[in-house]
Structure 1
Amino acid sequence: MINDSSIRLRPATPDDAERVAEALVRNRAHLRPWSPHRPADFFTARAQANLLADPSARRWLLVDPTPADGPRVVGAATLSNIALGPFRSANLGYWVDAEYTRRGLATRAVEEVCRAAREELGLHRVEAGTVLANTASQGVLRACRFELIGTAPRYLHIDGEWRDHRLFQRILHDGPPNAAP
């Protein structure tokens, strides 16, 4: 797990809901250009507790334990749409707090999540997409050995419009599906 400059990456639990909601409210404007429209209740602890309890996804939090008012969530990474069987794949999403960008936290979080995807879930591949203008996120993916697999026109409704996305994948292993955990 990440443990650099006191920032740690750890699995999320429903008990983290209030701090996740606080982080999302704090970063609402920062994340808006890269995020779908979110209803107001998305930014509540109740909505975040429901998302954190969802068994169809695995979530990790970047946590800074040093603030005087207690540990602060400063980012997250999520594997969603986890498919097992012969596909063994998932979608990756991640974000970092506006005050913590450009420290390599996203790169280290993505690397750790890919390790967990391979070693703990036995996944074969992880896919991620970015809006065309999100060059910082594309740099993270390239640094983490993701390869560009194409551009998807009008892929997701982001910040009020259907946006084209660059799609990336990382092959984690080429062993047979039944050899994975």
Structure 2
Amino acid sequence: MEEPALLQHGRVALRVIHRRDADPLRSLLERNRQWLRRWEATHPSGRGAEPGSVSMRPTVRLLRRQLSLGSGVPFVVLHDGEVVGQLSVSEVSGGALQSAQLGYWVSEHVAGRGIAPIAVALAIDYLFHELGLHRVEICIRPENTASLRVVEKLGLRAEGRRDAYIHIDGAWRDHDCFAVTREESGGTLLGRLS
């Protein structure tokens, strides 16, 4: 998969993750430990380090590998040029499916400023118009009111609950699934925020 150019709207941008982002992301995750812990994936065996407690270099390498294989598109979220979060497109499928899943987080110090909805809209518009995908899905824990507001602002369709879907913060957690198709997007999701 070809690396996308910078995606930007106003003060918010998405840029493909690079090795130089490993240290800023580790630092950001460490500072946001309490803010993010409830939403982060964990290994069911209890193995694995907390994000931010170890080097992010292996994670960045893995994400870059997914990009080269065409199975994912890893972005950092920028606000005024500063790394303030991460947005990952995963499970990119071609063939008859033409779909992807999307996950994201932003630092607590910029939460509530409309950064996440813009970042998500930029990513989905890219997936529909540049990669030609048909459907994008976002799964969110029902307790995550901030992320639920993002999909509400963008008008994504609720598809129902997936019980015990992902191992998060030490247990199997339910997630509500939201989706949008290219036809439903009306041309641009970014336009829904205007």
Name the TM-score, length of structure 2 as normaliser. Answer: 0.78
8 Å CA contact 2:13, 2:119 repeated in 1: no
Asked whether 1:51 is paired with 2:51, we answer no
| Within-5 A mapping of 1:6-85 | 6-37=11-42, 39-40=48-49, 42-43=51-52, 44-55=55-66, 56-64=71-79, 72-85=82-95
Is the contact between residue 90 and residue 127 of structure 1 (CA under 8 Å) also seen in structure 2? yes
Matched, 1:108 2:99: no
Specify the alignment match of 2:138 in structure 1: 128
Aligned-CA RMSD value: 2.0
**Aligned length in residues:** 168
Q: Which moves more between the two structures, 81-90 or 138-147?
A: 138-147
C-alpha contact 1:35 1:158 (8 A) present in aligned 2? yes
Q: In structure 2, do the counterparts of structure 1 residues 135 and 41 end up closer, same or farther at CA, with 3 Å as the change threshold? A: closer
1:90 corresponds to: 100
Q: Give the AA of the match of 1:8.
A: A
- Cross-structure match for 1:179: none
Does residue 146 of the first structure (1) align with residue 175 of the second (2)?
no
Q: Which moved more, 1:143-152 or 1:108-117?
A: 143-152
C-alpha separation in 2, matches of 1:41 and 1:116: 31
Following TM superposition, by how much is the alpha carbon of 1:62 offset from its aligned partner in structure 2, in angstroms? 1.6
2:8 equivalent among 2, 15, 40: 2
Secondary structure class of the residue paired with 1:77? strand
Q: Contact 2:136–2:180 (CA<8 Å) still a contact in 1?
A: yes
CA distance in 2: counterparts of 1:59 and 1:27, whole angstroms: 20
Identity rate of aligned residues, in percent? 34
Give, in whole Å, the separation in 2 of the partners of 1:11 and 1:173.
Answer: 26
Aligned to 1:170: 180
Question: Deviation above 6 Å: which 4+ runs of structure 1?
Answer: none
Structure 1 unaligned blocks of 5 or more = 66-70, 175-181
Task: Give, in angstroms, the shift of residue 42 of structure 1.
Answer: 4.8
> Is residue 140–residue 148 contact of structure 2 (8 Å, CA) maintained in 1?
yes
